[in-house]
Structure 1
Amino acid sequence: MSLINPSDSLERQNEKLLRIAEALMNRVEYGAENSGDAYAQFERAALLEKRVRERTLELERTLDLLHQSNAQLAEANRETEAARRNLADAIETVSEGFALFDSDDVLVMCNSRFCRDFRDMTQHLRPGMPFASYVAKVSRSRYLALPEDLTPDTWAERRNRRHQDRHVMFNVQLSQGRWLQVSEHRTANGGTVVLQTDVTDLMRLERAERDRLKDKQARMVRATLDHLNQGVCIFDDHGRLVGWNQKTGDLLSLPARRLQIGADFAGLIDRLDDEVQFTRGLTREGFRLWAASPQPRQPVSFEIRRGPQMVLQIFGRGMPDGGFLMAITDVTAEREAAQKLAELNEVLEQRVMERTLELEDALSAAERANASKSRFVAAASHDLLQPLSAAKLYVSSLADRTQNGADQAVLHKAESALTSAEQIIDALLDISKLDGDGLHFDIRTVALHEIFRPLRDEMAVLAERKGLQLGFVDSGLMVQSDASYLRRIVQNLLANAIRYTDAGRVLVGVRRNGASARIEVWDTGPGIAEEDQNAIFEEFRRLDTKASRNEGLGLGLAIVERACARLGHPLGLWSEVGRGSCFMVNVPIAGRASAAVTQNPRSARPVGLSQAGLIVLLVENDPQLSRAVTVMLESWDVSVLQAASAEEALALLADLQIVPDALLLDYQLGPGPTGIGLYHSLKEHMGALPCAIISVDRSPELRQDCKALDLTFLPKPLDRHRLGQFLTAAADALCRMG
């Protein structure tokens, strides 16, 4: 806006400018007193003109930007339309039906091949059509071939349910034998691409190949049935015959005119002649009811007899389609063999019974002979000890009367020889008692200090003669044992330690070992080599061949072993050549020990074994010991599987296909695995089984290995009572599992 009108003439404009200048000069000269209002109006007009000019410039810039945006939008619309036309041209060239639905399941676009086979719905395919409407139109199309048991609504419901899956692909059958494969693919923005592919040719080829395979399979099944040595009949869900082989007619004596496709099962059963008798399993009526049952049939097996001799076994099983199959096997030879085996088994049982009676008589005779031997040794020992005692008195009297040094030396040697003979007779008497069945133990609470105190006084003299230090670590423990036999055990161990120790000391002490008190006898003797540690417990076996006969004949440790075995006190040995030895005896602590042995632990037969029916695998390479253990176990009604080595045991179990109830394994089996190695092999194939390791090796290492594997250790010679306890425990475990 301008203060003057541009359309006025120059004169008029100059006139106006002069007036304006005059007014301004008057304002300056006279202030705002006379023309304040006019000047204020002039200022406002000038300010408004400035603002109008600024707004006009801004509007001009905005208009320019709007023109640019409109130009860009028009270009984008042209490009979008071109892209749409290109996309439409591209999907139109696709040989499959193509449709695109957006993330709201609304149709965006499709090509002309989409739903081309559904001619009655192509007019409804328009952009904006919901997916559910598309499925509903297809489900009611007269060109869709639905199965007989499927309605359009059901098909549409299943189709919409499939649409929720991430990956969709299925075949649709059309009228006139055509097929479409429909697949769905998800787009990045959540839309769906639907493809329809014509797979009619593939389906026809597949059906032709399937029919060809069915024909070939039918021929193969027929050939297989005809070559079977069994009779086979196949019935459908209505009990009609659909397949059979020639062997069926031969076994059942049915003529060929009776075995025809469609023959009724009940009619075939009724046509079986009177010579056919149902002998085992089902009756004729029961078999008919089984075949007519509408419920899933359980497998059945029974036998029939045709004629005087032929026995047929029939096996029936239901099939998934509701039909059933019947297999017929001629088992005449097997039944005749089973009858002969039964007769032979009766003969063998009679022979075994006779042999068992003979063995029991022999065992009784041996036990009587052993008892007679024990009585003889006891009587002979008693009769011999009296004259030996008298002879010792005569020798002592004679030694007192003579002053000749040479004669006294001879008499001293004679007295030593008589003392040695007396000790040998005492040892033989102890061994005889421990080997006999009539031995009774007086098991009671015993204070260990009552055992140690008298032995300290007795053995101190022997130790002092050899210049040895004898030490006792006293103990206040109370144990459960027979006081006299426990004293004899410790006495023999002490005497043996003093006898074979030339220098150093002998120490006796007690350690707690769980619920047991372990009595230990240590010495600083020459030690015992590992290969000799089992031999020292044998009768009349001494490792020191230079020792005098007056120092004993090697019966002390044999007595210790027998006494510990009969009392149930585990005996252990540690020794190192050049350092010394330690003999250990474990005795139950009073109040915490298991029930003690009362009397005659080997004479009673273990309770419960006769009813358990145990099967025991015995692996022992000593034939005589193996036979003796087998006879004893069989007298307890325990079945025994014998083997002499690990390989023979594994082969025997593999042949018999039997899992034994318990294992008795010798530790030393010669070449090959040890008893523990054999146990690991059996455990790998059969699982953990009750197992006892038998060995003459009494080393702590072997006992510790058995304890770590939860195996029972049975030292040789086998104690009948401990063996019976092991088998009874195995029988109890078998009953709990059964």
Structure 2
Amino acid sequence: MSLINPADSLERQNEKLLRIAEALMEHVEHGPAQSGEAYAQFERAALLEKRVRERTLELERTLDLLHESNAQLARANDETEAARRNLADAIETVSEGFALFDGDDVLVMCNSRFCRDFRDTVRDLRPGLAFAGYVERVSRSRYLALPEGISSEAWAADRMRKHTDRRVLFNVRHGQDRWLQVSEHRTANGGTVVLQTDVTDIIRLERQERLKLKDKQTRMIRATLDHLDQGVCIFDENARLVAWNEKIGTLLNLTARRLHLGASFARLLERLEQELTFSYSSDRDCFRRWAAEDGLRGPISFELTRDTNVVLQVFRRGMPDGGFLFSCTDVTAEREAARRLTEVNEMLEQRVMERTLELEDALSAAERANASKSRFVAAASHDLLQPLSAAKLFVSSLADRCGNAADRAVLDKTESALTSAEQLIDALLDISKLESDGLNFDIRPVALREIFAPLRDEMEVLAARKGLSLRMIDSGLTVETDPAYMRRVVQNLVANAIRYTEAGRVVVGVRRQAGTARIEVWDTGPGIAEEDQSAIFEEFRRLDTRASSNDGLGLGLAIVERACARLGHPLGLWSEPGRGSCFMVSLPVVGAAAPARPVSLGPARPVGLAQAGLIALLVENEPQLRRAITVLMESWGVSVIEAEDAESALDLLADLELTPDALLLDYQLGPGMTGTELFREITGRMGRLPCAIVSADRSEALREACAALEIELLSKPVDRHRLGRFFDAVARGVLAAE
């Protein structure tokens, strides 16, 4: 129970408390017996007054906070209402139809332009409307122009499927040829903003531009047809004429009455069958079947003859829309040229046949002469070696008996001369054997150690006499070759290196590359210039003119070249003046060595005779090399047209009026032009032909130039096996073309 009424004002409450305090004081003063109890009541009253004062302060603060909150809420409501009004005003100013749906696809708000073109749906567009309801009302609007064959339910279902996409954009037709573009945009809280934009003007402008473009394309097609040298007419899917040019009437001799818009293809077909002649009866049947087909037709081509001397090439092709195109070309001049070319080819074939027979006769005579020479050399060598051996024995006997120094010197020179003659006869005999077609080789697996070991002792003595260092590196490889001839090859290469090396060393080793063992003989001699690298393999040719007969006969490298060619072992050379030389011989690697087995090899030529009958143009300004290559290619059955420079080669081709099957061109042809330039000139005149450039130039620039032209590069000295592979490839290309 409270001593004061809480509903009273503070002044009234204070007044009551004061009166209570006075009454209590008076009671204490007038009641001494009860002074203790009175004081306790006074204390309780004072405590009660303090609590009342605290509660009063708390109540006042609470009331202040309540008044302040009410004021803030009122201000917030005012601001929210102002923002809503501003948003509504802003949306209303948008020139497009605008609607906002929340995350539950419920309409939140829209402007007056939204669905304005669908007037019978505006009254239903209120906040709270579901998106599906909005779509359903628009689909049933009488102002919506549905696509042909689409019901309102199907349109609504398709619209709801679009709504599930992340980005929605499509056009809707309404009213009298008017268009709205509808787009949807997702909000951050999963809602949807729908915009409706009037694009009628844009669509109408695009339609006008398409019509203009179509008219322009029609005029361009018409102008193109009129300027074609061919006669062209185009038919639609109903075989009715829709486009043509004047040339078709001229070529087929058709009047304007027959060529008009909508003319039937059957009339043209009747004209073709009655007044023109098919070159082949099968073409007529094929053409009739093609004309009777329905749908997309494949291409067909045939020839017609008009007035017995005019040849027309006709081509027809179907088009995707079911129509087809019919073109006609006058090929009379081409057919006449082909006829004349056939006559020229027949005449050239006759000439080539006569020339071939002459060449075969000459080749047979040369082969008989060569065989006779080989037999003579073999017989003469055998008869000469016996008296030379006897003379050497007599000279040796005299040397033992002669004590005069002057006489001994004369005998030494005589013996040296006889030895040189014997070596010359041996070398000539070897060359004669190598050029013989009946030579038998002992081809078998041979350990290279068996070839190197005997030569090391023999060659070290020769090197020591000249003060040179000779190093022969052992090899454990086994190769397939003739051991006797291969020993002679390595012996000649090492002896040649020692002979021409004045100081330094000679190194013999083997380098393995895949399935090949390459024997390399290096020296520190004077080197060989590029222009001389092909000449050193010629008989009796020595670059050191100061050398005497005791320094070599000039047949060692000739024997090496012939032996490697007959054995099928590629021979290579690297040399640079002032730095030395390296001769290389490549042999096939096999397993362990086996017992000897004699093998008879035929003439040295590439495997197969596919090259026979080819015609090759050879341009080489060095007469001896040109002759050597000519003889080699003619032995393969290749007919050779020789020329020493570019100018004479071009004149010769013009005079003969024929196109060779292949070109073999030296790179250095004098001041006129190089081999690559001559290749470009011939290509410009006759088209691209298989070509190989022959050169001692091993520079990177020449290799890149040949690679760019896609032609072969054969380094000098020419490897007959690489040359043979080149003509094999040419022959395969000619056979494939035929």
Q: TM-score range with shorter-chain normalisation?
A: 0.7 to 0.9
One-letter amino acid of the counterpart of residue 610, structure 2: L
Question: 1:166-202: per-residue Cα shift (whole Å, max 9, x none)?
Answer: 5554443333233334444455555444333334344
- Asked if residue 647 in structure 1 is aligned to residue 661 in structure 2, the reply is no
Letter of the structure 1 residue corresponding to residue 483 of structure 2: A
Query: Shift of residue 674 of structure 1?
Result: 6.0
Secondary structure of the corresponding residue to residue 437 of structure 1: coil
* SS of residue matched to 1:325: strand
What's the counterpart of residue 714 of structure 2?
Answer: 694
Contact kept in structure 1, 2:664 and 2:692, CA below 8 Å: no
- Whether the 8 Å CA contact 1:616–1:640 is kept in 2: the answer is yes
Aligned to 2:383: 383
Corresponding residue number in structure 2 for 1:705: none
**Residue 704 (structure 2) pairs with residue 677 (structure 1):** yes
Partner of 1:703: none
Partner of 2:228: 228
Where do residues 60-139 of structure 1 align in structure 2 (5 Å cutoff)? 60-139=60-139
2:676 and 2:693 in contact (8 A); partners too? no
Question: Take 1:10 and 1:504, find their aligned partners in 2: how far apart are those partners?
Answer: 141
Check 1:580–1:333 CA distance in 2 against 1; reply closer, same or farther (3 A cut).
closer
> 1:681 offset after TM fit, Å?
0.6
Alpha-carbon distance in structure 1 between the residues aligned to 2:367 and 2:419: 32
Q: Per-residue displacement from partner, 1:410-469 (whole Å, max 9, x unpaired)?
A: 233222212211111211221222233332211223345544554455556655655667
Task: Give 1:537 deviation, angstroms.
Answer: 3.8
Q: Deviation per CA, 1:14-41, whole angstroms, max 9, x where unpaired?
A: 5567779999997969xxxxx9xxx99x
* Letter matched to residue 423 of structure 2: Q
Q: What is the match of residue 561 of structure 2?
A: 561
> Residue 234 of structure 2 contacts residue 325 of structure 2 at CA under 8 Å; is this kept in 1?
yes
Residues of 1 paired with 2:69 and 2:256: CA distance?
96
Aligned-pair identity in percent equals 63
CA contact (8 A) 1:99 1:111 kept: yes
Residues 35-62 of structure 1, C-alpha deviations (whole Å, 9 max, x = no match)? 9xxx99x98x999998787666555544
Distance 1:180 1:694, change over 3 A: same
Moved more, 283-292 or 481-490: 283-292
Measure how far apart 1:120 and its partner are.
2.0
The 5 Å alignment of 1:292-441 reads: 293-400=293-400, 402-441=402-441
Q: Please name the residue that 2:8 is paired with.
A: none
Pair 1:602–1:158, CA change in 2 (3 A): farther
2:256 is the alignment partner of 1:265: no
SS at match of 2:342: helix
Taking the aligned partners of 1:733 and 1:520, their CA distance within structure 2 comes to 36
| Residues 149 and 290 of structure 1: CA distance in aligned 2, closer, same or farther (over 3 Å) | farther
Map Cα deviations across residues 272-318 of structure 1 (whole Å, 9 max, x no partner).
45233444697556546545655433333333344533333332333
The question of whether the paired residues in 1 share the 8 Å contact of 2:235 and 2:324 is answered with: yes
Count of aligned pairs: 696
Describe the superposition over 1:552-604 as per-residue Cα deviations: whole angstroms up to 9, x where unpaired.
Answer: 22222332333233334455567787787665545444417999994435456
Instruction: State the alpha-carbon separation in 2 of the partners of residues 327 and 18 from structure 1.
Output: 141
Conserved in 2, the CA contact under 8 Å of 1:481 and 1:596? Answer: no
Secondary structure of 2:410 counterpart: helix
Q: Deviations over 1:248-267 (max 9, x none)?
A: 33333444333333333345
Supply the AA of the counterpart residue of 2:714: I
**Other-structure match for 1:141:** 141
Query: Structure 1 223/136 Cα, relative in aligned 2: closer, same or farther at 3 Å?
Result: same
Distance 2:581 2:663 in 1: 40
Paired AA for residue 344 in structure 2: L
Determine whether 1:528 maps to 2:527. Answer: yes
- TM-score, normalising length from structure 1? 0.78
d(CA) in 2 for partners of 1:488, 1:232: 77
1:441 is matched by which residue type in structure 2? F
Q: What's the counterpart of residue 607 of structure 1?
A: 608
Structure 2: tracts of 5 or more residues without a match: 6-12, 641-659, 667-674
Q: Distance in 2 between matches of 1:23 and 1:724?
A: 155
> Using a 3 Å threshold, how does the CA distance of structure 1 residues 614 and 262 change in structure 2: closer, same or farther?
same
Give 1:665's aligned residue: 693
Q: Is the 8 A contact 2:299 2:316 kept in 1?
A: yes
Instruction: Name the CA distance, whole Å, in 1 between partners of 2:683 and 2:700.
Output: 17
More displaced stretch, 555-564 vs 593-602: 593-602
SS of the aligned residue for 1:304 comes to strand
Q: Helix, strand or coil for the counterpart of 1:176?
A: coil
Q: CA deviation at 1:629?
A: 6.2
Q: CA deviation at 1:126?
A: 1.9
In structure 1, C-alpha distance between the alignment counterparts of 2:340 and 2:321, rounded to whole Å: 43
Match of 2:647 in 1: none
The equivalences for 1:570-581 within 5 A come to: 570-571=570-571
User: Whole-Å Cα distance in 1 between the matches of residues 129 and 726 of structure 2?
Assistant: 85
How far did residue 659 of structure 1 move?
7.9
When structure 1 is superposed on structure 2, of 178-187 and 329-338 the one drifting more is 178-187
Aligned pairs for 1:216-255 (under 5 A) are: 216-255=216-255
Tell me, yes or no, if the aligned pair for 1:234 and 1:323 is still in contact at 8 Å.
Answer: yes
1:399/1:664 CA distance change after superposition, 3 Å: same
CA–CA separation in structure 2 for the residues paired with 1:673 and 1:655: 29
Gaps of 5+ in 1: 30-34, 684-690, 697-714
2:82, 2:354 → 1: CA distance? 111
In angstroms, what is the RMSD of aligned CA positions? Answer: 4.8
Query: Does 272-281 or 251-260 show the bigger shift?
Result: 272-281
Q: Which residue of 2 aligns with 1:700?
A: none
Q: Secondary structure at the match of 2:312?
A: strand
Native 8 Å contact 1:665 1:675 kept in 2: no
Secondary structure of 1:363's counterpart equals helix
Quick one: structure 1 residues 527 and 207, their matched pair in 2 at CA, closer, same or farther if it must change by over 3 Å? Answer: closer
Contact 1:99/1:107 (8 A) holds in 2: yes
Confirm or deny that 1:488 pairs with 2:488. yes
Structure 2 CA distance for partners of 1:102 and 1:731, relative to 1, 3 Å: farther
Alignment CA distance shift 1:50-1:125 (3 Å): same
- Deviation larger for 498-507 or 417-426: 498-507
Contact 2:303–2:312 (CA<8 Å) still a contact in 1? Answer: yes
Letter in 2 for 1:229: D
Secondary structure of the equivalent of 1:115?
coil
| Contact 1:633–1:640, Cα closer than 8 Å, also in 2 | no
Instruction: Give the CA deviation at 1:545.
Output: 3.5
In 2, distance between residues paired with 1:9 and 1:664? 135
Deviates more, 1:112-121 or 1:62-71: 62-71
| TM-score normalized by the length of structure 2 | 0.78
Asked if residue 176 in structure 1 is aligned to residue 173 in structure 2, the reply is no
In structure 2, the residue corresponding to 1:274 is in which secondary structure?
A: helix
Contact 2:516 2:586 in 1 (8 A): yes
Paired residues of 2:107 and 2:129 also in contact (CA < 8 A): yes
